[in-house]
């Protein structure tokens, strides 16, 4: 099994002038969607459907509603290297879980490096911690 990392990447300014502001264009969004669709074909990404809220919605946009019954089939074959391990009453349980890097990837997160050494984090969709503290979070999706 191959360990893959998922990132839309880091954007560095040219050495000779300052990057004023990163302005992604429509073609960047299309590439993000293609990468997200490819990512969602990994077995352990059923965890995106279990994550809820915006991550769940983005997963459904990639896979479609017809995959919903399949999340009831149980854990994926990648649960041990990528999943969550719980120890309850001396019993060990496993479930699929997305890493923070994968959650950021699902949201379309970029890391923009400025010449002054600062890193600006931008994303196509709000990351879960941002969404949870926004006034737009009304408890569903």
Give residue 116's pLDDT band: very low, low, confident or very high (50, 70, 90). confident
Paired sense of beta strands 10-11 and 109-113, if any: parallel
Interval 79-89: pLDDT, tens = 777 777 888 89
Q: pTM of this prediction?
A: 0.77
The stretches of the chain forming alpha helices (DSSP H) are 26-39, 46-51, 53-63, 79-82, 100-106, 128-133
> Rounded to 10 degrees, what is the CA torsion of 14, 119, 127, 96?
90
Residue 105: per-residue pLDDT = 92
């Amino acid at each position: 099994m191959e360990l893959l990392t998922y990132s839309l990447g880091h954007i560095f300014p040219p050495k000779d002038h300052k990057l004023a502001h990163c302005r992604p264009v429509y073609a960047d969004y299309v590439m993000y969607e293609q990468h997200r669709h490819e990512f969602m074909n990994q077995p352990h990404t059923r965890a995106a459907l279990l994550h809820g809220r915006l991550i769940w919605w983005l997963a459904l946009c990639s896979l479609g509603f017809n995959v919903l019954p399949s999340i009831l089939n149980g854990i994926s074959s990648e649960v041990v290297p990528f999943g969550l391990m719980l120890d309850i009453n001396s019993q060990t349980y496993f479930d699929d879980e997305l890493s923070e890097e994968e959650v950021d990837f699902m949201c379309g997160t970029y890391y923009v490096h400025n010449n002054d050494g600062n890193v600006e984090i931008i994303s196509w969709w709000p990351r879960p911690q941002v969404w949870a503290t926004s006034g737009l979070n009304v408890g569903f999706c």
